[in-house]
Amino acid sequence: MPLTPFSINVPRALTWDASSRTLCILDQRRLPGEVVQVELRTLDAVDDAIRSLAVRGAPAIGVAAALGLVAAFSHGEIPSRDALLAGIDRLSASRPTAVNLPWAMARLRRVVDAGDIGGAERLDALAAEAERILAEDEAMCFAIGQHGAALIPDGARVLTHCNAGALATAGIGTALAPVYTAVAAGRRVSVIADETRPLLQGSRITAWELTQTGVPVTVCTDGMAASLMREGAVDLVIVGADRIAANGDVANKIGTYSLAVAARHHGLPFYVAAPTSTIDAATPDGAAIPIEQRDADEVRRFGTRQLVPTLALVYNPAFDVTPSALVTAIVTNAGIWRPPYRFSP
Ligand code: MRU
């Protein structure tokens, strides 16, 4: 029996009501302590939710921006073409590294640029395109799970970083999709979630998501991962991606590169799982991927508590690049790719 995408009850990053054109997101800044849904009704709210990581993860921000644009323009006067294009430009720029965001926005721009329709009809066409982006993302996650489950044997102890689960997508996730699919097929799988400094997407979000689904999860701090590998406590590493260059270099949450180096040293497979919407064949290699630099206070403080002396400088890149030579395979909705990677447009 094929697994239907939600036969495992995963939490959802966002929900869309097509009849009222209402977008709600799960506010991921508040996990795991509070589970709060927030409606995004304006461009400001959508932009802020993406920048502040209330909604996050490469596929989810593309889908949220597309649906959010439609929601923001659906509860007032019919927007002009210029207002729509300005909204698209604004949301495209809300985060720089995940290519899914400009990819989704480019699809909406093509609808606006079509020129042969206007007014309410144009908004209807935009809604239809945003809903296709949502449905495609769900389907791509499902397909990643189907392909990737072959890499997860019975008894596997899987280490992952950040959150590339359901909460980073509109479906069952990317890196966690093979895990859910293997579990649904009856395999015993457990996950080690890297804490993922500085914003703790691993301990706050991945561990919460997995506990909701009943998959056993253990949290480790980022600095423990290599040591766990040496102790033989890890069978494979699987992570998501924010952008994959034409040569297979992978941008993902800061700390991913260290894991790939450690996995290679310990002879462990290092897999990347991502939808084809994350492949940017126009970017030749990782050096050309824009890396988001975030506010130093994310490292300096935790809530009201200061963690770094005032006179110390801090680095806070949100992502790093893992060279394709360290990537054992890339699992996409289209199948499993192995080196040498050559993605073409
Ligand atoms: O800063 P975030 O939380 O948006 O970073 C997310 C990641 O790095 C994920 O691993 C990546 O987007 C893949 S999500 C399927």
pLDDT tens-digit readout, 306-316: 999 999 999 99
Say yes or no: CB of residue 238 within 6 Å of ligand 1.
Answer: no
Indicate the residue among 143, 160, 183 that finishes a domain. 143
165 plus 228 within the same structural domain = yes
The C-alpha angle with vertex 93 and arms to 91 and 99, in degrees rounded to 5, equals 95
- Specify whether 132 is located in the same domain as 25: yes
Say which DSSP state 202 is in: I
Ligand 1: atom nearest CA of 319 is 8
**243 within ligand 1 shell (Cβ under 6 A):** no
Cβ pair 50, 25 in contact under 8 A: no
Ligand 1 near 174 CB (within 6 A): yes
Q: Is the CB of 56 under 6 A from ligand 1?
A: yes
Residue 100 confidence (pLDDT) above 60: yes
Task: Report whether 237 contacts 178 (CB < 8 A).
Answer: no
Q: Is 209 in the pocket of ligand 1 (CB under 6 A)?
A: no
Cβ–ligand 1 distance for 67 under 6 Å, the answer: no
Reported in sequence order, the residue ranges of 74-204 that DSSP labels E, i.e. its strands, are 157-160, 190-194
38 pLDDT higher than 90: yes
Judgement on whether residues 120 and 190 belong to the same structural domain of the protein: no
Q: How far, in Å, CA of 46 to CA of 64, rounded?
A: 8
CA-nearest of 162, 177, 196 to 57 is 162
Confidence of residue 119 (pLDDT cuts 50, 70, 90): confident
Is 5 part of any domain?
no
Give the mutation target among 27, 204, 242, 294 for probing the ligand 1 site: most ligand atoms within 8 A of CB. 242
Q: Classify residue 314: in a domain, yes or no.
A: yes
Residue 327 falls inside a structural domain = yes
**Angle between helix 58-72 and 100-113 (nearest 10):** 30
- The upper half-sphere exposure of residue 28, i.e. CA atoms within 13 Å in the direction of its Cβ, equals 35
Q: Residue 260: CB within 6 Å of ligand 1?
A: no
Beta bridge partners of 22: 17
Mean pLDDT for all residues in the chain: 96
CB 165 within 8 A of CB 206: yes
Nearest atom in ligand 1 to 56's CA: 4
Do both 160 and 302 map to the same domain?
yes
Answer left, alpha or beta for residue 63, where phi above 0 means left and psi between -120 and 50 means alpha. alpha
**Mean pLDDT to the nearest integer, 60-66:** 98
pLDDT of 318 over the 60 cut: yes
- The number of the ligand 1 atom at minimal distance from the alpha carbon of 253 is 8
Q: Are residues 187 and 292 in the same domain?
A: yes
Report pLDDT digits (tens) over 181-190.
999 999 999 9
The pLDDT > 70 percentage for the chain reads 98
> Which of 162, 195, 196 is the best mutation target for the ligand 1 pocket, counting ligand atoms within 8 Å of the beta carbon and taking the most?
162
Q: How far apart are CA 286 and CA 248, in angstroms?
A: 8
Same domain, 65 and 110: yes
Cβ 202 vs Cβ 196: under 8 Å? yes
Q: Which domain holds residue 40?
A: 14-143
Give residue 7's pLDDT band: very low, low, confident or very high (50, 70, 90): low
> Do 224 and 290 belong to one domain?
yes
Q: How far is the CA of 319 from the centre of ligand 1 (A)?
A: 9
328 compared with 76, residue with greater pLDDT: 328
In a domain, 115, yes or no: yes
CATH of the domain at 97: 1.20.120.420
Do the beta carbons of residue 26 and residue 37 sit within 8 Å? Answer: yes
Among 108-122, 205-219, 323-337, which is the least confidently predicted range?
A: 108-122
For residues 98 and 172, state if they share a domain. no
Tell me the HSE value of 64 on the side-chain side, using a 13 A CA sphere.
Answer: 36
Domain boundary among 93, 109, 143: 143
**pLDDT tens by residue, 143-171:** 999 999 999 999 999 999 999 999 999 99
Catalytic residue among 137, 242, 249, 320: 242
164 CB within 6 A, ligand 1: yes
On whether the CB atoms of residues 78 and 156 are closer than 8 A, the answer is no
Q: Whose CA is nearest to atom 10 of ligand 1?
A: 240
Q: How many domains does the chain have?
A: 2
Looking at the fold, whether 164 and 119 belong to one and the same domain comes out as no
Q: Identify whether 129 is part of a domain.
A: yes
For residue 1, pLDDT over 90 is answered with no
> Residue with the nearest Cα to atom 15 of ligand 1?
164
Compute the distance from residue 254 Cα to the ligand 1 centre, in Å. Answer: 10
Residue 343 resides in a domain: no
pLDDT at 111: 96
Domain boundary among 110, 143, 176: 143
The reply to whether ligand 1 has any atom less than 6 angstroms from the CB of 160 is no
State whether 212 and 324 are in the same domain: yes
Q: Is residue 127 part of a domain?
A: yes
242 a catalytic residue: yes
Instruction: Decide if 265 is inside a domain.
Output: yes
Question: Ligand 1 atom closest to Cα of 252?
Answer: 8
Mutation choice for ligand 1 from 27, 56, 161, 180, CB with most ligand atoms inside 8 A: 56
Is there a single domain that holds both residue 138 and residue 173? no
* Same structural domain, 126 and 163: no
CATH of the domain at 291: 3.40.50.10470
Say which residue the tokens 């590339």 belong to. 164
- With a cut of 90, say whether residue 303 has pLDDT above it: no
